[in-house]
Chain A
Amino acid sequence: MKIDSSLPLEYSTEENRLKIFGFWIFLGAEIMLFATLFTVYFVLANRTGNGPTGSEIFELTPVLFETFLLLTSSFTIGLGIHAMRLGNKKAMMTFFITTLVLGLGFLGIEIFEFITYVHEGATITTSAFLSALMTLLGTHGAHVTFGLFWGIAILIQVAKRGLNAQTTNKAFIFSLYWHFLDVVWIFIFSFVYLKGLIS
């Protein structure tokens, strides 16, 4: 086991380094997963059948709030990791809790958005466009939901065991996951909502 003291605690053992490395490979697989969902959406975006089109149901204001919440949560978890590297457990936990609250806010707006669609008669079975849209948004939303539970589990471990080689490694990997969800959302924001509103 090689220990490199110039790297942060989460890289401190061979196993930790491999876990971070492996998670990046997993993120590569996630990129391809979302690429296929985007493919389905782009191919079917004009197949609206008798249902509404994107520009008819998309509303800019809630989407902007979602974007702002997720961008900010990505910022706060970055600050959380920075505080963790300074060894400041209290600040790290505060930033992580802030992140999860912002994530919950994002999810709340997204669920509200889905309910609005269904009330407007735009359900997942209405048209190929809506099936593709809701599969893409739903997969992202499911990732955020999973991330909320994962984040809570990490907070409990940090609270109980403090910042050690294991907990910092888990927290860092979680931060990679959360930043990745923000990247996916940016593409949804740009190529689903904004593109849908102009065409």
Chain B
Amino acid sequence: MKELFPKQHVMGFGFSLLLTIVALSVVTLDMSYNIAFTILLVTALAQATVQLVLFMHIGESEDKKTLYTSILYAVFVGVITIIGSLLTMIWGYQ
């Protein structure tokens, strides 16, 4: 039975629950918007990394360099789309 629950997965699950509770602190505790947003950004990125590395085993095959590159490229395009749109439509640039 024990072999069905590898340490890596159990730790990853515990870590993701912990990150959820930390993210939740932005609602339960009183803090400035900038600090809250930073906490959300850090916890969400950490969650995504836990999933990719511990659960999806992105680094286990010999293609791992290509996989990391294509996922990072997709994230790059996504972030440019989000930041660029906010810059032109909401924040302004003057």
A residues engaging B (CB < 8 A)? 7, 11, 17, 20-21, 24-25, 27-29, 31-32, 34-36, 38-39, 42-43, 60, 64, 67-68, 71-72, 74-75, 78-79, 82-83, 86, 88, 91, 175-176, 179-180, 182-183, 186-187, 189-191, 194-195, 197-199
Contact = CB atoms under 8 A, between A and B. Distances in A.
A24 B44 contact: no
A180 B78 CA distance: 15
Nearest to B44: A190
A7 to B, nearest CB: 7
Given A71-B20, A78-B9, A186-B44, A43 B52 contact: no
Interface in B28-59: 33, 36-37, 40-41, 43-44, 47-48, 51-52, 54-56, 58
Contacts of B67: 21, 24
Contacts of A29: 74
Main secondary structure of the interface of A (DSSP, over half): helix
Nearest to A77: B55
B47 A183 contact: yes
Contacts of A197: 27
